[in-house]
Structure 1
Amino acid sequence: MKVVLCVLALAAVALGAPSAPGGRIFGGINAARGEFPFIVSLQYCIIGFCQHSCGATILSPSWLLTAAHCFTELPGIGSVRVIAGILNQNDANAEKQTINIGRYIVHPNYEGGVNPHDIALIMLSSSLILNAQVQPARLPRQGEEPQGPFDLAGWGSIGGSNLFPQMPNNLQKAVVPLVPIRECDAVLTRILEGRPHPLHFESNVCSGPLDAPITACGGDSGGPLSKGNVVEGVVSWGINPCGGVDAPTVYVKVSNYINWIQRYVDEPLLFAD
């Protein structure tokens, strides 16, 4: 089977941008309400129709963290909104908040597609109201090395095909181990039969397991790789088709970008103790 690298956004599938893989956070289970109060759903809207496209992490009432390709790989039409405080995509609970995006800031070194520095900040058009279901994540310190295992969460594809992915209603989660960056590099090189790949030793982190089909998939892009309430990574890219054994998921390493984040976010941020 031919394998290719792909970003893990979803809305672009139906709308003509790079394809997302068909697969799942394989082996994942339903998350519980309030378990990940810092995750939100980014929804791409066009002509009155909205669908989940990416995840994002709450940093403060007005600022979110996501993957840059969740914006750069979309068509030049339509809009993106934020849904916070939900467990299920069809939730109508009192904590649910729908807010438009004021602006987004893509890291200046990101070159688009499957590349390093795939990170972006979102400033909301109005502030979130914090409650039990809507809370900011904590951040690691600049330069800290993440230590697994981690929690991976998202509303990404759980089956179907590239063109017709099966999307979960309930937020999914899986516990995933850290794959050391040099091992990740070796595995990707083997999978791609020596073809070059954009894994960046300083700014990426990888998860496995390499002996079971547990990976992020289409629609998980931009969502958090977390440890407790600390966001350690941002879902960036993986192998298509996803859900394969011996196929790591690659994330942006958040601790590499704390100084950049603080340059823009004008609200107090929470850091790991």
Structure 2
Amino acid sequence: MGSERDALSAAVFLVALISYGEGIIGGREAAPHSRPYMASIQRPEGENMKHECGGFVIAAQWVMTAVHCLPTGPNGRKVVLGLHSLSKQEETTQTLDILELHNHPDFNPSNFDNDIALIKLDRPFNTSDTVQAVEYLRAGGANPSTGAEVETAGWGSLDDLESRPDKLREVLVEVVSSNRCKRSDYFGRKFTDNMMCAHKVCPEPCSEPYRKQDSCDGDSGGPLLYNGVAVGITSNGGKKCGQIRKPGVYTVLSHYTEWINNTMAPQDTSD
């Protein structure tokens, strides 16, 4: 009898975990091709390609992502643009090879500081309604303040059990105070001035379907947007996603304007 109760309790706990965050963690399916800057970075798996990380288009031949997505090089990965579904054939899809990968030289794998990378595609993509660059915040621009509503999107896990969506999902979250994220019960000393954190928590009693909204595993490398401008890169969406004291952590883009310009200028001087 005791073993049956234990099995039932385990099953209830498992269901609770599965239902806790549906989405990108509490998000929704995006309108098809409503985010034409989104990129899916895919790795070979047998004869097929599998989504691994997100990215976003910032110029005619350039995609921005996170270093931890490709720490040792491209290794056969491809960048897919213009897609909504990962499984269906779409006429809008453009698949490109990685010509150059530029990982930030000061990336710290112990805490993901300076988690920003630039991919130069093997050729310029064809600009269309479904594939376009997004504006990103430069040095001197105003980053969102604590409590500001920001948004992110991706094909990342729906929950900590790594169930993955087929179609692009999006979520609105709120910027959390950096001082809070530096607390020992949040991220402590691992959280640096090059990071911002964000999630959305519905206070108890909660009328929303899901109490916590967040990014998760597989969303890494995607953009954090404020008023339609990319202000961050999803960095640790895969770490403890959905937990109240572990908001999503994002690389602050405006801190890297000089590095971005220096990296892109020798290869692409057009603007």
Common topology (TM > 0.5): yes
Q: Which runs of 5+ in 1 are unaligned?
A: 1-21
Which stretch has the larger CA shift, 56-65 or 209-218?
209-218
- Aligned twin of 2:9: none
**Does the residue aligned with 1:200 lie in a helix, a strand or coil?**
coil
- Aligned twin of 1:43: 42
Aligned partners of 1:56 and 1:79: how far apart in 2? 16
Partner letter of residue 214 of structure 1?
Answer: Q
Quote the offset at 1:227 in angstroms: 2.3
Judging changes above 3 Å, is the alpha-carbon distance between structure 1 residues 238 and 55 closer, same or farther for their aligned structure 2 residues? closer
Aligned partners of 2:227 and 2:129: how far apart in 1? 16
Quote the offset at 1:267 in angstroms: 4.6
Quote the offset at 1:145 in angstroms: 3.4
Decide whether the 8 Å contact of 1:209 with 1:246 is kept in 2. Answer: no
- Aligned twin of 1:245: 244
- Aligned twin of 1:114: 111
Quote the offset at 1:158 in angstroms: 0.7
Aligned partners of 2:75 and 2:103: how far apart in 1? 18
**C-alpha RMSD of matched pairs (Å):** 2.2
Partner letter of residue 59 of structure 2?
Answer: S
Judging changes above 3 Å, is the alpha-carbon distance between structure 1 residues 170 and 113 closer, same or farther for their aligned structure 2 residues? farther
Higher RCO (CA < 8 A, seq sep 6+): 1
1:190 is aligned to 2:190? no
Aligned partners of 2:96 and 2:52: how far apart in 1? 15
1:178-225 deviation per Cα after TM superposition (whole angstroms, max 9, x unaligned): 112112222xx2146xxx542112x11111224541111110000011
**Does the residue aligned with 1:122 lie in a helix, a strand or coil?**
strand
Judging changes above 3 Å, is the alpha-carbon distance between structure 1 residues 209 and 80 closer, same or farther for their aligned structure 2 residues? same
Judging changes above 3 Å, is the alpha-carbon distance between structure 1 residues 259 and 227 closer, same or farther for their aligned structure 2 residues? same
Partner letter of residue 190 of structure 1?
Answer: D
Aligned partners of 1:99 and 1:240: how far apart in 2? 29
Q: Max radius of gyration: which structure?
A: 2
**Does the residue aligned with 1:237 lie in a helix, a strand or coil?**
coil
Judging changes above 3 Å, is the alpha-carbon distance between structure 1 residues 70 and 239 closer, same or farther for their aligned structure 2 residues? closer
- Aligned twin of 1:6: none
Quote the offset at 1:109 in angstroms: 0.7
**Does the residue aligned with 1:256 lie in a helix, a strand or coil?**
helix
Decide whether the 8 Å contact of 2:160 with 2:241 is kept in 1. Answer: no
Quote the offset at 1:45 in angstroms: 1.1
Aligned partners of 1:208 and 1:94: how far apart in 2? 34
Aligned partners of 1:46 and 1:267: how far apart in 2? 36
Percent of pairs with identical residues: 29
Structure holding more helix per residue: 2
Work out which of the residue numbers 185, 191, 201 in structure 2 matches 1:199.
Answer: 191
1:60 is aligned to 2:55? no
1:134 is aligned to 2:131? yes
Partner letter of residue 112 of structure 1?
Answer: P
Q: Which runs of 5+ in 2 are unaligned?
A: 1-19, 203-210
Aligned partners of 2:216 and 2:186: how far apart in 1? 17
Aligned residues: 237
Quote the offset at 1:48 in angstroms: 2.7
Partner letter of residue 183 of structure 1?
Answer: R
- Aligned twin of 2:82: 85
Decide whether the 8 Å contact of 2:160 with 2:242 is kept in 1. Answer: no
Aligned partners of 2:170 and 2:270: how far apart in 1? 28
TM-score by length of 2: 0.80
Aligned partners of 1:247 and 1:219: how far apart in 2? 17
Aligned partners of 1:239 and 1:155: how far apart in 2? 12
Judging changes above 3 Å, is the alpha-carbon distance between structure 1 residues 190 and 238 closer, same or farther for their aligned structure 2 residues? farther
Quote the offset at 1:35 in angstroms: 1.6
Work out which of the residue numbers 187, 193, 199 in structure 2 matches 1:208.
Answer: 199
Decide whether the 8 Å contact of 1:46 with 1:79 is kept in 2. Answer: no
